[in-house]
C-alpha cells in the first residue's frame, strides 16, 4: 500500500486541508458534494463517504469564517480597545474618508 503522505490518512485524499485550501475552493467542493447527494444515484457507503466529506468541508469553512470574523473584530476596535460600529461599504469605499461616491472631500 502506498504511503498517503504527511497529514493524509490512507484512502482520504478528498479530505479538506484548511491550511492549503481556500474558502472559495471549499465552497466549490461543497457544491459538488451537494450535487452528488441530490442526484441520489450513490450507494449507501458512497453516500455516507460523500456526506462525511461535506460535513468536514462545512466545518472547515465555518472555522475560516470564524477566524475572519475575529480578524474583522480586531481591525475595527477603537483606539481605546472598545468596540465601535463600522458601516460596511461595498467595493471598499468609505464616505467618512471622502472615498466612493462623490469623490474626495
* Most confidently modeled range among 2-11, 68-77, 91-100: 68-77
Average pLDDT over residues 55-75: 91
Per-residue pLDDT at 10? 40
Per-residue pLDDT at 75? 81
| Burial state string for 25-64 with b = 16 or more CB within 10 A and e = fewer than 16 | ebeebbeebeebeeeeeeeeeeeeebeebbebbeebbeee
> Which has the closest alpha carbon to 29: 65, 55, 66, 68?
55
Please state the pTM of the whole predicted model: 0.58
How many beta carbons lie within 10 A of that of residue 19, not counting itself? 7
> Which has the closest alpha carbon to 86: 99, 96, 98, 71?
96
pLDDT of 18 above 80: no
Per-residue pLDDT at 71? 87
Per-residue pLDDT at 82? 76
1-5, 17-21, 81-85: which range is least confident on average?
A: 1-5
The single residue listed with the C-alpha cell 460600529 is: 85
Amino acid at each position: 500500500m502506498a504511503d498517503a503522505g504527511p497529514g493524509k490518512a490512507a484512502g482520504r485524499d478528498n479530505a479538506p486541508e484548511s491550511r492549503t485550501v481556500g474558502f472559495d475552493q471549499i465552497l466549490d467542493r461543497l457544491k459538488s458534494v451537494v450535487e452528488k447527494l441530490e442526484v441520489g444515484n450513490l450507494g449507501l457507503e458512497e453516500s455516507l463517504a460523500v456526506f462525511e466529506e461535506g460535513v468536514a468541508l462545512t466545518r472547515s469553512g465555518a472555522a475560516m469564517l470564524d477566524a475572519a470574523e475575529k480578524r474583522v473584530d480586531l481591525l475595527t476596535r477603537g483606539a481605546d480597545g472598545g468596540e465601535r460600529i463600522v458601516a460596511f461599504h461595498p467595493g471598499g469605499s468609505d464616505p467618512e474618508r471622502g472615498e466612493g461616491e462623490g469623490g474626495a472631500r
